[in-house]
């Protein structure tokens, strides 16, 4: 890449502030930027990095006041603008050849749309349907009667079990398993008998799912991930869950069976949610939180078990000063004993210090 | 499916209460049921759903009293009866063709039982033995000298490393890795040297293992999962563990090396257990619990570190009222100071509110 | 294996103490040892097992005093010596045939070193480079332009995405995904737009990575795992992390984006670390710890959120006696009320017992 700042501003619909003839030869983050790089400032709280960055110029928000220095491109949303730039000028995107690789196994009873790419060692079973321009990478398994929407990208070794339905433009990263049996048994005299899991998984449009994720099929009916939701690596979603639109589920979260997650919810890393509860729309659960009961919309919960964040912070502050509280109680006991004219009780076992 | 309630009662050995001529056209859970569906009530605490369900009839426990309404089928165990029904009348089970797919690689030194199915892109190495009627799905890897019992079902991309032994009727879901090297190193001057892991994994009969699970081989000897135990998705079991019979290990649990888990134990979701400890028979560890020392049989532990549940609840109740306790101590200090005729000490830093 | 103790001592450079003519027929751990086995004592705290073991002889540290009994081999580091012995005399290591399996798909634009082994159903894309004597097992995927160093061992189904760089002697266990897209979105009016992730993952020499691990590529630049670090199963490392040399990352740890981990750090099982923080060299985070801010070098932190271990222990000891503290405060209140000549306040709601 070799373009002037002016040319780039035109490409991303921005306005140059400073020298528009600076030559840009690369693009990167504000910390890693090298000479000649264009970078961007997405979060005003990192504005101090503008002084340190080696970048030649910076994409920055319209109204944001910064000390004079580097030439700028002013845009409405620097992060979006920069992503657009990377798409235009960044590393060339890999193109996967249209057609079915000779070493793929595609059932004659499967239906492939236009422009589909099927890599080597992929398996597409009877009755599966693959939408137009979908990319089925090497080693992917698409089960009997499963449906994959248009322009999906299934990375190597993804497994879509029988009967599952994937919407359009869904991205699923390597090693993820969609539609394995829900974890259900009934115990009779200590022996666990498997409960048939005859439902499916439905994943709506524009969902992205990370690597080595597991999403189980429903006992009956469906486990559903609604449109626009993004799921990070190593997440577990159990049978019969209903995950709302545009939610963010960070790595290693686990959601137990039949739980409902609302729209625009954020579950931070390693959160666990018990079964049969509801997390209301727009709620946030802090990292490692353990949700043991339903949570209202627009709330912020943390802790194990998870509680309202304001309450948690108050309690936790007192917890951090517990040894001092013990000392104060001991002092009170001594003073009271003195007032009463008797020796203080021995609570030494309680002090541990 | 289209049968009268009477006909179904005969199939599952139940007794009709109410109109036996009702025509049943489907089967599903009590909440999702549609008109014409048969459903079931497994847990009396959900009896209130009987009024709301759209189901045409309900499979229910022998003695359970319910308000008159829908026709019923009375059975001893509704969940078992319903599973049987799904097996009989539910979606047709997939059948995998007997024989070895032309695009599988099976060593001439491997031994395959009768009626074995080996899917495309599966690899079966020298000396491996596959039991009768086992189903080895596409992309499965069975290592040198590994043994797979009769009627096992290994879902796509399962890896069984060399020398591991799998019993009969074991189900292993997609992407699970059995027998990877235990995590063992010895540090010499800051460099970690790999300790050879030359043991194996033994999985006994009737075990089921979820997707993307990892079970490591022993340093010497064996890591063992005993018969009838059920393991959910994304569980980690380290080298040299011994997991007892008929235990339930929920998703994302991690068990460190050389730990022994008893029979009929339940480890709830995201539990962690340190190495070299024992969890006694019939014990339960609550979700997210961190077990740091051995736990006796028939116990129930929760928390991080895990403690007896009764003790935990007592302590946790006090924890939830810590800010109030701080206030009470402050009041005591003020009153005592008044009694002593001096100003109260300043503990403002302790209150945080 | 059938050798005298003398012969084995010569092989591992040790000194016999006691009967050197004892015949050794196997090798194993001190607990599992059978008659004729050689075992070893790595940790003096298990010295009491010397009396119970059925082993014929024991490899033991030079200066360590033990009760007379079994014949011994004295060495500087018993664990290292024993590992050497297992390498020499243990189960024969599997050898993977040099060359490319006829059912592998290797791009003519890929470059393979000398003595490389490529198993069936492996895919090596355009521009990938494989170092000498590397073993690429069945079903492995090596993306466009990726580089694999000499003597690497990639177990079945490993995925190395495009452009990632793996050093020499790196071992990666089954199902692990290196270089999936970092989890990055920018929200515009509630819709999450994918941020391009155009960086890579760099893994330096002598790293070992367990099964079903996920390590994401950087947004720009690189996610890096420095030399000699060992990573257990089911670990998640997010985009732009920098993991220092010779660190130990135990199973199910999750590290959020742009975090830096120092050298010789130990993250115990199920630890979580937030993004954009630094864990100093030689630090330890205890199991299940939740690191919410940077941690200095040479420190030991535990808890959620993680705090200095000494502080944690002091606070936790007081926490375990919270119900008793509540009782003491109640008694103080009663006594004070008596002194003041009034009835005690009713704090019954605070006691919960």
ipTM confidence score: 0.94
Give the mean model confidence (pLDDT) for residues C228-237. Answer: 98
Q: Do A190 and B246 touch (CB under 8 A)?
A: yes
Tracing tokens 């030649």 back to the chain, one arrives at A56
- Which of C251, C269, C333 shows the shortest C-beta gap to B328? C333
Decide if A119 touches B, using CB distance below 8 A.
no
Give the mean model confidence (pLDDT) for residues C144-163. Answer: 98
Question: Length of chain A in residues, anyone?
Answer: 353
pLDDT tens sequence across A56-87: 999 999 989 888 889 999 999 999 998 988 88
- Which of C288, C332, C340 to mutate against chain B (most B CBs within 10 Å)? C288
CA dihedral C99, C105, C110, C115 (to 10 degrees): -10
- Which of C137, C175, C322 shows the shortest C-beta gap to B177? C175
Helix (H, G, I), strand (E, B) or coil at A155: coil
Contact call for residues A273 and A289 (beta carbons, < 8 A): no
pLDDT tens sequence across B181-213: 999 999 999 999 999 999 999 999 999 999 999
- The closest of B90, B212, B99 to B156, measured between CA atoms, is B212
Q: Which residues of B touch A322 (CB under 8 A)?
A: 322
pLDDT at residue B96 in the model: 96
Decide if B251 touches A, using CB distance below 8 A.
yes
pLDDT at residue A45 in the model: 84
Give the distance from residue A156's alpha carbon to the nearest chain C alpha carbon, in angstroms.
Answer: 7
Residue B63, pLDDT > 60, answer yes
Residues of A (309-328) whose Cβ lies below 8 Å from B: 314-315, 317-319, 321-322, 324-325, 328
- Identify the CATH homologous superfamily for domain B99-310: Hexapeptide repeat proteins (2.160.10.10)
Give the mean model confidence (pLDDT) for residues B92-99. Answer: 94
Helix (H, G, I), strand (E, B) or coil at B60: strand
Mean per-residue pLDDT over chain B, rounded: 94
**CA C120 – CA C101 distance, rounded (Å):** 5
Q: What is the pTM of this model?
A: 0.95
- Whether the CA torsion C21, C25, C27, C31 is positive or negative: it is negative
Contacts of B235 (CB under 8 A, 6+ apart): B209, B210, B213, B214, B249, B250, B251, B252, B253, B254, B255
pLDDT at residue A89 in the model: 80
* Active-site pick, A157, A173, A239, A301: A239
Decide if B294 touches A, using CB distance below 8 A.
no
pLDDT at residue A67 in the model: 84
pLDDT at residue B13 in the model: 92
* Active-site pick, B153, B157, B239, B301: B239
Token pair of A276 as six digits: 């049969």
Q: Which residues of C touch B123 (CB under 8 A)?
A: 119-121, 138-139, 156
Token pair of A21 as six digits: 């003839």
Decide if B233 touches C, using CB distance below 8 A.
no
pLDDT band of residue A31 (cuts 50, 70, 90) is confident
Percentage above 90 pLDDT, chain A: 82
Give the mean model confidence (pLDDT) for residues A122-151. Answer: 98
Q: B: neighbours with 3+ CB pairs under 8 Å?
A: A, C
**CA B24 – CA B14 distance, rounded (Å):** 15
A114 burial via Cβ count (<10 Å: 0-12, 13-18, 19+) = exposed
Give the distance from residue A264's alpha carbon to the nearest chain C alpha carbon, in angstroms.
Answer: 7
pLDDT at residue A347 in the model: 54
- Which of A34, A40, A253, A287 to mutate against chain C (most C CBs within 10 Å)? A287
Q: Which residues of B touch C252 (CB under 8 A)?
A: 236, 252, 254, 272
Decide if B230 touches A, using CB distance below 8 A.
yes
Chain B residue with Cα closest to C82: B195
Decide if B79 touches A, using CB distance below 8 A.
yes
Decide if A126 touches B, using CB distance below 8 A.
no
Residue C352, pLDDT > 80, answer no
Contact call for residues A140 and A154 (beta carbons, < 8 A): yes
Token pair of C96 as six digits: 């993977």
- Which of C121, C251, C287 shows the shortest C-beta gap to B121? C121
Decide if A269 touches C, using CB distance below 8 A.
yes
Contact call for residues B167 and B181 (beta carbons, < 8 A): no
Token pair of A159 as six digits: 């497994």
- Which of A83, A173, A352 shows the shortest C-beta gap to C196? A83
Residue C344, pLDDT > 80, answer no
pLDDT at residue C147 in the model: 98
Domain coordinates in residue numbering, chain C = 3-89, 99-310, 321-353
Decide if B32 touches A, using CB distance below 8 A.
yes
Q: Which of A54-63, B57-66, C201-210 has the highest mean pLDDT?
A: C201-210
- Whether the CA torsion A157, B166, B291, B232 is positive or negative: it is positive
How many other CB atoms are found less than 10 A from the CB of residue C154?
A: 30
pLDDT tens sequence across B244-284: 999 999 999 999 999 999 999 999 999 999 999 999 999 99
Q: Which residues of A touch C193 (CB under 8 A)?
A: 80, 83
- Which of B87, B264, B304 shows the shortest C-beta gap to A196? B87
Decide if A46 touches B, using CB distance below 8 A.
no
Helix (H, G, I), strand (E, B) or coil at A192: strand
Q: Which residues of A touch B333 (CB under 8 A)?
A: 328, 332
Alpha-carbon distance values, A2 to A7, A25, A89, B153, B347 (Å): 10, 5, 9, 56, 64
Which helix H or strand E contains A327, and what residues bound it? helix A322-340
Tell me which CATH code domain B3-89 carries.
3.40.1390.10
Give the mean model confidence (pLDDT) for residues B229-242. Answer: 98
- Whether the CA torsion A229, A79, A251, B213 is positive or negative: it is positive
pLDDT tens sequence across C72-124: 999 999 999 989 888 887 888 899 999 999 999 999 999 999 999 999 999 99
For residue C56, the Cα-to-chain-centroid distance in whole angstroms is 32
Residue C66, pLDDT > 90, answer no
pLDDT at residue B353 in the model: 39
The question of whether B301 is a catalytic residue gets the answer no
- Whether the CA torsion C107, C112, C118, C124 is positive or negative: it is negative
pLDDT at residue C22 in the model: 95
- Which of C105, C307, C325 shows the shortest C-beta gap to A329? C325
Residue A348, pLDDT > 70, answer no
Give the mean model confidence (pLDDT) for residues C25-45. Answer: 88
Q: What is the 3-state secondary structure (H, E, C) of chain C?
A: CCEEHHHHHHHHCCEEECCCCCEECEECCCCCCCCCEEEECCCHHHCCHHHHCCCCEEEEECCCCCCCCCCEEEECCHHHHHHHHHHHHCCCCCCCCCEECCCCEECCCCEECCCCEECCCCEECCCCEECCCCEECCCCEECCCCEECCCCEECCCCEECCCCEECCCCEECCCCEEEECCCCEEEECCEEEECCCCCEEEECCCCEECCCCEEECCCCCEEEECCCCEECCCCEECCCCEECCCCEECCCCEECCCCEECCCCEECCCCEECCCCEECCCCEECCCCEECCCECCCCEEECCCCEEHHHHHHHHHHHHCHHHHHHHHHHHHHHHHHHHCCCCCCCHHHCCC
**CA A221 – CA A257 distance, rounded (Å):** 13
Give the mean model confidence (pLDDT) for residues B140-161. Answer: 98
Decide if C196 touches A, using CB distance below 8 A.
yes
Helices (H), B78-178: 78-89
pLDDT tens sequence across B297-330: 999 999 999 999 999 999 999 999 999 999 999 9
- Which of A175, A251, A347 shows the shortest C-beta gap to C175? A175
How many other CB atoms are found less than 10 A from the CB of residue B5?
A: 26
Residue A44, pLDDT > 90, answer no
Residue A352, pLDDT > 60, answer no
Q: Do B139 and C157 touch (CB under 8 A)?
A: yes
Helix (H, G, I), strand (E, B) or coil at A22: coil
Q: Which residues of A touch B101 (CB under 8 A)?
A: 105
Contact call for residues A14 and A74 (beta carbons, < 8 A): yes
pLDDT at residue C348 in the model: 46
Taking only Cα atoms into account, the Rg of chain A, rounded to an integer number of angstroms, comes to 28
Give the distance from residue B122's alpha carbon to the nearest chain C alpha carbon, in angstroms.
Answer: 9
Contacts of C79 (CB under 8 A, 6+ apart): B186, B195, C40, C42
Give the mean model confidence (pLDDT) for residues B144-151. Answer: 98
Mean per-residue pLDDT over chain A, rounded: 94
pLDDT at residue A90 in the model: 80
Decide if B141 touches C, using CB distance below 8 A.
yes
Residue C29, pLDDT > 70, answer yes
pLDDT tens sequence across A266-322: 999 999 999 999 999 999 999 999 999 999 999 999 999 999 999 999 999 999 999
Decide if C220 touches A, using CB distance below 8 A.
yes
**CA B107 – CA A85 distance, rounded (Å):** 51
- Which of A124, A141, A199 to mutate against chain B (most B CBs within 10 Å)? A141
CA dihedral B44, B45, B47, B49 (to 10 degrees): -140
pLDDT band of residue C347 (cuts 50, 70, 90) is low
Supply φ then ψ for residue B39, to 5 degrees: -130, -170
pLDDT at residue C10 in the model: 94
Chain A residue with Cα closest to C105: A120
């Amino acid at each position: 890449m070799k373009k002037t700042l002016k040319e780039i501003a035109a490409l991303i619909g921005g306005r140059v502030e400073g020298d528009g003839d600076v030559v840009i030869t690369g693009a990167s983050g504000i910390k890693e930027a090298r000479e000649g790089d264009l970078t961007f400032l997405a979060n005003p709280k990192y504005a101090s990095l503008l002084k340190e960055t080696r970048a030649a110029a910076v994409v920055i928000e319209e109204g944001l006041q910064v000390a004079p220095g580097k030439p700028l491109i002013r845009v409405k949303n620097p992060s979006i603008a920069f992503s657009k730039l990377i798409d235009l000028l960044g590393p060339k995107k890999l193109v996967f050849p249209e057609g079915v690789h000779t070493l793929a196994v595609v059932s004659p009873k499967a239906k492939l749309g236009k422009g589909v790419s099927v890599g080597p060692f992929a398996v597409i079973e009877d009755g599966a349907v693959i939408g137009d321009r979908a990319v089925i990478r090497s080693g992917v398994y698409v089960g009997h009667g499963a449906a994959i929407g248009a322009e999906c990208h299934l990375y190597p070794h993804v497994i879509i079990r029988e009967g599952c339905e994937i919407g359009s433009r869904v991205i699923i990263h390597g090693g993820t398993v969609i539609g394995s049996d829900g974890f259900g048994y009934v115990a009779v005299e200590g022996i666990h008998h498997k409960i048939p899991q005859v439902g499916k998984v439905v994943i709506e449009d524009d969902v992205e799912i990370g690597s080595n994720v597991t999403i189980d099929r429903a006992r009956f009916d469906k486990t559903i991930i609604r449109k626009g939701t993004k799921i990070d690596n190593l997440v577990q979603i159990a049978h019969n869950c209903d995950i709302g639109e545009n939610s963010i589920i960070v790595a290693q979260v686990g959601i137990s069976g039949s739980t409902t997650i609302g729209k625009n919810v954020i579950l931070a890393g390693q959160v666990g949610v018990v079964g049969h509860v509801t997390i209301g729309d727009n709620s946030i659960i802090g990292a490692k939180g353990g949700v043991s009961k339903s949570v209202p919309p627009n709330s912020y919960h943390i802790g194990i078990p998870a509680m309202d964040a304001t309450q948690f912070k108050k309690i936790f502050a007192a917890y951090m000063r517990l040894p001092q509280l013990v000392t104060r109680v001991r002092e009170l006991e001594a003073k009271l004993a003195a007032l009463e004219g008797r020796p203080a009780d021995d609570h030494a076992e309680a002090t541990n210090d």
